[in-house]
Amino acid sequence: MNVPATPTEIVTDLGHRIVAGQLVPFLGPEVLTLTPEPWPVPTGARELSARLCKRVAVPGRIRNNMWHTAQYIETFRHRVTLDKLMLEIFKPVPQPSALHRWLAGRTHLPLIIDTWYDGTMAQALAEARSDWALFQGTSKARRTGDAPWFRAYAPDGSELSYEDGAKAATILYKPHGAAQPAGDVLASDADYVEVLTDIDIQTPIPETIKDRRADMGFVFIGCRFYDQILRTFARCLTKHSKGPRYAIVPVDELTPNEKKFMEIENITPISMPLAQAAEVLVATAPVL
């Protein structure tokens, strides 16, 4: 009789598979909570919306929705104001956690996806190695004419051609944009309407990301899927990948929409506190 694996055994196995380059770590904003408080940047979309509302008066009916709040600011206070606020909020770079440093040291890991605006994962990589590149989504406001859906950057922040960026041993992909190095982020409804129109057919995603994910699975770490935008990005970014897919989540706290999404997308939930899971992952191999 086979005894079911415990959550600790499952996460340990995931750690070994990340080290071997078989699983893509898909990071959400909650990974920033793995260091002691106070955190210098918001650790979720609702917290970011609250920060924006402290700077600009926004109607109460949309204050809990980051994307609607950002659109209101863009419409009534100009896009320059929104970009300035986002850059100010995410100017501090949180100290990388042990998990960030552990991921940065995985030299056989071809792809890390980070869905938040902070520069923490990039800093951890910069401190560990030089054979990586940043690919990030670009906002509607910065994309004119034939400009691409994304840009690539070297570890020193200088812009790279797609060809040079695609040669990197590890790519850090930030599909929602990033505060560093160029302060270009997707935040407003207008940004997402354009991207969501095309992301299902994969147009905004760099070819090297599609190539690297093809033979890999995914593990969602510090992510929640309570909003349709978050679910759509997760679905489209993992599309056409080999699998399997896992998510380290508080199963008892998931909304019905999150549970349905994970069932449809064949994502196996692992119910373990994020801090405990991070400790288990880091213990599978030394931090370089």
Confidence class of residue 118 from pLDDT cuts 50, 70 and 90?
Answer: very high
- Contact of 134 with 152, CB cutoff 8 Å: yes
**How many Å is the Cα radius of gyration of the chain?**
18
Question: Which pLDDT tens digit goes with each residue over 214-226?
Answer: 999 999 999 999 8
CA trace torsion 256, 195, 176, 49 (10° rounding) = -60
- pLDDT number for residue 2: 56
Poorest-pLDDT segment among 48-52, 227-231, 243-247: 227-231
- Contact of 116 with 136, CB cutoff 8 Å: no
Q: What is the C-alpha to C-alpha distance for residues 252 and 271, in angstroms, rounded to an integer?
A: 8
Q: Is 135 left (phi over 0), alpha (psi -120 to 50) or beta?
A: beta
Question: Which pLDDT tens digit goes with each residue over 10-69?
Answer: 999 999 999 999 999 999 999 999 998 889 999 999 999 999 999 999 999 999 999 999
Q: Over the chain, what is the mean pLDDT?
A: 92
- Contact of 68 with 189, CB cutoff 8 Å: yes
- Alpha-carbon torsion (164, 166, 168, 173), positive or negative: positive
pLDDT at 4 over 90: no
Joined tokens for residue 82 = 């929104």
pLDDT at 236 over 80: yes
How much helix, strand and coil, in percent to the nearest 5, is found in the chain?
45, 15, 40
Q: Please name which of 100, 67, 78, 95 lies closest in space to residue 176, comparing C-alpha atoms.
A: 67
Q: What is the C-alpha to C-alpha distance for residues 83 and 66, in angstroms, rounded to an integer?
A: 14
Which structural domains are found in the chain, ordered by start?
7-35+97-283 (3.40.50)
Q: What is the C-alpha to C-alpha distance for residues 169 and 107, in angstroms, rounded to an integer?
A: 7
One-letter amino acid identity for 131? Answer: D
Number of helical (H) and strand (E) elements in the chain, helices listed first: 12, 11
Greatest Cα pair distance, the chain, in angstroms, is 65
What does pTM read for this prediction? 0.95
- pLDDT number for residue 172: 98
Question: Which pLDDT tens digit goes with each residue over 149-207?
Answer: 899 999 999 999 999 999 999 999 999 999 999 999 999 998 888 787 776 667 889 99
